Structure 1
Amino acid sequence: MWKKIKQLIFIVLILNVIFIIWGRFFNPPITITQIGGLFEYGKLHRDYISYDEMGSNVKKAVIASEDQKFFNHNGFDYTAIEKAMKNNEKGKKLRGGSTISQQTAKNIFLWQGRSWIRKGLEAVYTFIIEKVWSKDIILERYLNSIEMGQGVFGVEAASKYYFGKSSKDLTTSEAAWIAAVLPNPKKYDPKNPSAYLRKKHNWIMRQMRNVSLK
């Protein structure tokens, strides 16, 4: 029995290694979150494109919104994590301190949710992809796989869905609208923005001025 368990663990580890190396060169064929969106909304809008095809505005907008230290950290923003933990202890509602690297690990390899098991695996995958992949690859995988609407995944599909154009052609304002729906794309809609979303959009526009792609 124990021998079979060890064999199973070994096989799982080997498959994970293969998938991580494979992911350095290719976008995932499908993710658990995308499957969930397909079942929930009966549709799956996505259009994988290369890093260079995305244009700079949408990259800057998402970095400004989600992780302004992306190119400078090792996968973890310890200041943001500490702040999130302190606020959670006080009972304040605050989004977590996850970086783009952590979100990429979750979106590509894992599932949504807040369990300690998932968070632990997320940390492991984050550490590995930061070592095996480059920052550009991590950002490309993130921007191609991130949920950006009901059944809409990736910045290219989101650009066409919300604005009828490719992501490389987005204006600064349009890119900021797409980034503004994160981290709750099922709730927020750039086509019908709430007062909060308008405020966040304006904040992202200001923050984009400070974002450098390297």
Structure 2
Amino acid sequence: MARLLVRNKRGRGYLVNPGRSPVGRAVRYLILGGIILIMLPIILLSLYRLPFIHPISTLMVKDIVTFSGYDRRWVPLDRISPSLVNSVMMSEDARFCFHNGVDWDALNSVVSDTIDGEQTRGASTIPMQTAKNLFLWTSRSFIRKGLEVPLAVLTDLILPKQRLLEIYLNIAEWGPGIYGIEAASQYHFKTSAAKLSPRQAAYLAVTLPNPIVRNPARPGRGMQTLARVNERRARGAGAYVGCVN
């Protein structure tokens, strides 16, 4: 390792290893931490490709750490009602089959609206929400959104579309301590995810943007209107859901 020749006030020189100085050590640790932060999602997402691995979200980790407890029952994609799959995709990310993790047109529109001071609409895709649920925190901030975008591209790159959607539907929050579509179906409608009706699926889909406030089993008038629109769109989804059917 290269050493530096340093002279004291009397002109005497001595060799210093910069890597052993406090600043050098701090730089090394920062670089090592950055490499770990970059590699960890890649390693975990590669493991998540395996069908027998059932990932948990950061919210579920929080519930474990705080001893709050939660209900999550993993169910494979082929045991989830197609009505639910279509409803969620049309509600949350209609272009899921066509983008690389980020809907750039929608995101650019949101950025432009924010700069102009206008009210913004959501631009989160299913890969972005999956990446957030797996690796990030829930509170809104530009820092989180900045991390969410590359993680979403990485998630979409490593995970096949069907596996990505399966993970999302099994870690999404559908109420306090209720995670995943099977637990949500049993809790709200006393039925399995495989037996959800189109209307029940629509109610669950439109719950996702605000699962703490919205209750699919007791929808208000506004939620009923949203569900009817979603149900109609889900029936006509066609090619929009072709990558998972």
- After TM superposition, the score normalised by the length of structure 2 is 0.79
**Contact 1:38 1:151 survives alignment (8 Å):** no
Q: Does 1:119 align with 2:132?
A: no
Q: Does 1:100 align with 2:152?
A: no
**Contact 1:57 1:168 survives alignment (8 Å):** no
Alpha-carbon distance in structure 1 between the residues aligned to 2:223 and 2:63: 22
TM-superposed deviation, 1:90: 5.3
Alpha-carbon distance in structure 1 between the residues aligned to 2:217 and 2:109: 32
Q: Does 1:192 align with 2:224?
A: no
The match for 1:21 is 46
Q: Aligned residues, how many?
A: 213
Please state whether the residue corresponding to 2:174 is helix, strand or coil: strand
> Identity of counterpart residues, as a percentage?
32
Q: CA RMSD in A?
A: 2.1
Alpha-carbon distance in structure 2 between the residues aligned to 1:90 and 1:130: 30
1:197 counterpart letter in structure 2: M
Query: Which 10-residue stretch deviates more, 167-176 or 107-116?
Result: 107-116
Q: Does 1:54 align with 2:80?
A: yes
Query: Which 10-residue stretch deviates more, 148-157 or 39-48?
Result: 39-48
Query: Which 10-residue stretch deviates more, 203-212 or 153-162?
Result: 203-212
TM-superposed deviation, 1:194: 1.3
Query: Which 10-residue stretch deviates more, 72-81 or 147-156?
Result: 72-81
Alignment CA distance shift 1:94-1:36 (3 Å):
farther
Q: Using CA pairs under 8 Å that are at least 6 residues apart, name the structure with larger relative contact order, 1 or 2.
A: 1
Alignment CA distance shift 1:205-1:39 (3 Å):
farther
Alignment CA distance shift 1:117-1:181 (3 Å):
same
Alpha-carbon distance in structure 1 between the residues aligned to 2:33 and 2:74: 33
The match for 1:82 is 108
Alpha-carbon distance in structure 1 between the residues aligned to 2:120 and 2:218: 24
**Contact 2:69 2:177 survives alignment (8 Å):** yes
Aligned positions of 1:32-51 closer than 5 A: 32-36=58-62, 42-51=68-77
Alpha-carbon distance in structure 2 between the residues aligned to 1:178 and 1:67: 15
Residue 202 of structure 1 is aligned with which of 223, 228, 236?
228
Q: List runs of 5+ in structure 2 lacking aligned partners.
A: 1-24
Q: Does 1:182 align with 2:213?
A: no
Q: List runs of 5+ in structure 1 lacking aligned partners.
A: none
1:140 counterpart letter in structure 2: E
Alpha-carbon distance in structure 1 between the residues aligned to 2:174 and 2:116: 30
TM-superposed deviation, 1:92: 4.7
Alignment CA distance shift 1:88-1:202 (3 Å):
farther
Q: Does 1:12 align with 2:37?
A: yes
**Contact 1:41 1:150 survives alignment (8 Å):** no
Alpha-carbon distance in structure 2 between the residues aligned to 1:87 and 1:12: 32
Alpha-carbon distance in structure 2 between the residues aligned to 1:169 and 1:93: 38
Alpha-carbon distance in structure 1 between the residues aligned to 2:204 and 2:70: 17
* Cα deviation code 1:100-123 (max 9, x no counterpart): 111111111111122222112111
Please state whether the residue corresponding to 2:217 is helix, strand or coil: coil
